[in-house]
Amino acid sequence: MGNSDTSNQMWGGRFASGPDRIMEAINASIDFDRVLYAQDIAGSKAHAAMLAETGIISAEDHDKIVHGLNTILSEIEAGTFEFSAKLEDIHMNVESRLAELIGPAAGRLHTARSRNDQVAVDFRLWVKEELQKTHAALTRLIEAFLDKAEQHAATVMPGFTHLQTAQPVTFGHHCMAYVEMFTRDRSRVADAIERLDECPLGAAALAGTGFPIDRHMTAKALGFREPTRNSIDTVSDRDFALEFLSLAAICAVHLSRLAEEIVIWSTPQFGFVRLSDAFSTGSSIMPQKKNPDAAELIRAKTGRINGALVTLLTVMKGLPLAYSKDMQEDKEAVFDAAGTLDLMIAAMTGMVRDMEINTAAMKKAAGAGFSTATDLADWLVREAGLPFREAHHVTGRAVALAEEKKCGLEKLALEDLQAIHPAITDGIFSVLSVANSVKSRTSYGGTAPAQVRRQVKAARKRMAKK
């Protein structure tokens, strides 16, 4: 890219001898912050346009700067740009090359700007773009679940608490639980975009600048809602990165819980779902096996995202205002977490869309484990007027009898049930089937197929508005 001693020229005087190799290695960030090249060049173009508009630099210098920056952008995208660790970071690499291309005019670009506000604007732009991608990815995942929920609004399956059969639900209702979870994630993404949508450019090192800059102009040019309001906070704030990692960690946990269920559901013991070949692998020695590797990897990758959050929280926890070099450690964790989350959401969306539902296995399991016991207790309260605690006791005796006879509650004889409590009539059998159980759960947000269909419709409407 040019003279390797340019770093000495950039710093001059005191640093004329150059840093030694260890200092160079610990100080340089170009190996990872080169990812910000497009944002850095966009920020420089906006800054140059504002400097020209306010008369701080000439129109001629502005034109040279923009031409040079466009050339650098083309070189980076073509893979011909030579990055140098001696120039520390993306900002100095671009500025040095700009000086080679256009001469002294390059030195005027940094007027009324510091690397502190420069890196803040680059990083905010990158995180904002990543959040927008995450929002779109979550939309696709939610839509995949809505399609499955609508298709299986009446498909019965066991509902679990403590991973023990509790009450029958529908698979559509179970899918809608994940719709709620990922909709909250999507909402957090939108909230994070709203909060970070302020432009740091113009805060300079930490105190602002005496040049007559127009921060509203640069904010608008870069697509931000408005400029930041305090120059000290601007250069020392990484809340937007912490918030990204926080919402990413919560979303990853949701993905991991779903992945765990898919792993369980795809076992022969459950057999609730069959994964497509695209998202599973075979065993190297056991031909009968089909491993849910994509789900397992999603479950594991959650640890990387959680680790990234802890990393940045730890970096920031002891920093006095304003900027400290510690904050150079903010990016790798965010870059890694963002790429990991993108992959996790994409893989999960593919799995959900492709997986086949074994409705027969779900229906069989839904009736196991005396899953309609609560329906029996509710019937005793509603039809026989028993207090719920007494109804609970009576139901427990009925379950014990069914266990003894090795049959389901619906297979018990009426006289056996009446021996437990005389108020029981043959009307009890109308609630002991799995299908009738789910149909009866008509409360708002309940598992009744009609409720599930209503919730799918309502969710689609909400999605269309945002």
Active site residues: 162, 283
C-beta atoms surrounding 422 within 10 Å: 9
C-beta contacts of 294-300 below 8 A and 24+ residues apart: 294/347, 294/348, 294/350, 294/351, 295/259, 295/260, 295/262, 295/263, 295/266, 295/351, 296/259, 296/263, 297/347, 298/255, 298/256, 298/258, 298/259, 298/344, 298/347, 298/348, 299/256, 299/259, 299/260, 299/263
The sign of the torsion formed by the CA atoms of 447, 450, 455, 460 equals positive
**Backbone φ and ψ of 288, nearest 5°:** -80, -10
**Residue 258, CA distances (Å) to 137, 178, 298, 322, 438 in order:** 16, 8, 9, 41, 22
What distance in Å separates the CA atoms of residue 5 and residue 87, rounded to the nearest whole number?
9
At residue 291's C-alpha, the angle toward residues 285 and 293, to 5°, is 120
**Helix segments in 317-372, DSSP class H:** 331-354, 359-366
**Contact (CB, 8 A) for 111 and 57:** yes
What distance in Å separates the CA atoms of residue 442 and residue 457, rounded to the nearest whole number?
16
The token pair at 386 is: 């028993």
Query: Which residue from 54, 43, 219 is spatially nearest to 115, judged by alpha carbons?
Result: 43
What distance in Å separates the CA atoms of residue 43 and residue 26, rounded to the nearest whole number?
26
**Contact (CB, 8 A) for 366 and 156:** yes
The token pair at 280 is: 């599973």
The token pair at 241 is: 């990165």
